[in-house]
Structure 1
């Protein structure tokens, strides 16, 4: 099983530790592309219009300044750097040693800066969304689409891919439809389904935790994923088509 996660907007900066070593990140074939984005991000973050270029408000000035020194900043495992609703619900810190190992083996984060990284890869805190049109690379989703297919398809092999990414990150890689289930979350209000971003993030994080911590074998098909999901939530599955992955819909009150 391969669980695809989005990064969090907020990051917890490491207070101490060695700096980033690009070559040590998972998918080393992405090193050249990562360096290209790093260079472009540093240039944009030092520009007079940095906040506009990166699509962030003035309140994030410290995050933008941090982008200028990423290669010298302290780095920490991705599961400690990424914070926010999804990662709080996933709760890596409270897992057992076996569950943590499983998370590091089975979770991949798709990122606007790194392309894709392993859950245990050491990175500095940064600010860059996949939605940014970055001078020097263009739209990051389009940039990474040129680079991610081979390494992520190779990493997935024949495993089931559980796609918990948000819509900002899905354009960067389209997994093979027949072995992929995209996770959506709907809130039921007066019998009607609505999409609520906060609850969707939280529930995707809870689903990832459930899959990593439950007893038994990991699901190997969309149908098995549905059964595992129904251990916790009401859920429905729309089968995959030739071009579209299966759609797992989790229903919450």
Structure 2
């Protein structure tokens, strides 16, 4: 099983591990694409004003420029600890016990705009780059789409895609039984469904933490739905999105 998470714009500073080493990351077939993205971001880093515009940063976010300039020498920490924000605050990875963290290392993957897919325990530095950022000579969607799709297509088990649509477009999950896209919804008093934003991320974080604490061995969509019900989550099949998109599952928050 693989659980795909989106990254977060916000990240913890510091780290106790050595600087970024691409050969220490999961999915080594992405190394060439990672090198190109890092090089393009490095080229942009020579002009602070240009980087501010390209990354859509405001005056209070000037330190993000220095983060990107220091990528090669900055300390690293596990990806699941690096990211902060609503989803990762709800997940609260630093408080997981050792067994849950080992399970995360085997199952959880974070989709980084800079590094592509990274394992939960992969050591990464703090950086700033989003799926819609503009880099000189490199379009992130066309750059990452095929390499990431190939990696995900090679995964034989259950894929639970909790990414935002922007990141899902940056590297689509395969369309096959056992590959599902999770959409968080709420129900109003009349039973009408609506999409969520803040609580969407919170629900995904809570769900992922529950999986890591429970450590179920899930091999199919039926397994996923059955476990979710036993764990207190309201999760069911959504509308069929057609042959071109993975099956959708709705998680009711």
Looking at structure 1, the residues matched to 109 and 21 of structure 2 have their Cα atoms a distance apart, in angstroms, of 18
Which consecutive residues of structure 1, in runs of 5 or more, have no partner in the other structure?
Answer: none
Q: What is residue 238 of structure 1 aligned with on the other side?
A: 238
RMSD of aligned residue pairs (Cα, Å): 1.7
User: Is the contact made by 2:17 and 2:123 (CA closer than 8 Å) also made in structure 1?
Assistant: no
Question: Does residue 12 of the first structure (1) align with residue 12 of the second (2)?
Answer: yes
User: Is the contact made by 1:34 and 1:113 (CA closer than 8 Å) also made in structure 2?
Assistant: yes
TM superposition shift of 1:68: 0.8
1:149-164 correspondence runs (5 A): 149-154=149-154, 156-157=155-156, 159-164=157-162
Distance change in 2, residues 1:173/1:229 (3 Å): same
Q: What is residue 180 of structure 2 aligned with on the other side?
A: 181
TM superposition shift of 1:16: 4.3
1:102-251 correspondence runs (5 A): 102-138=103-139, 140-154=140-154, 156-157=155-156, 159-178=157-176, 179-191=178-190, 192-214=192-214, 217-231=216-230, 232-238=232-238, 241-251=242-252
SS of 1:110's equivalent in the other structure is strand
Looking at structure 1, the residues matched to 63 and 130 of structure 2 have their Cα atoms a distance apart, in angstroms, of 16
Number of positions where the alignment pairs a residue of Structure 1 with one of Structure 2: 248
User: Is the contact made by 1:112 and 1:141 (CA closer than 8 Å) also made in structure 2?
Assistant: no
TM-score (norm 1): 0.91
SS of 2:4's equivalent in the other structure is strand
Looking at structure 2, the residues matched to 197 and 239 of structure 1 have their Cα atoms a distance apart, in angstroms, of 20
Which consecutive residues of structure 2, in runs of 5 or more, have no partner in the other structure?
Answer: none
| Runs (4+) off by over 6 Å | none
Q: What is residue 40 of structure 1 aligned with on the other side?
A: 40
SS of 1:136's equivalent in the other structure is coil
Looking at structure 1, the residues matched to 226 and 146 of structure 2 have their Cα atoms a distance apart, in angstroms, of 35
User: Is the contact made by 1:211 and 1:228 (CA closer than 8 Å) also made in structure 2?
Assistant: no
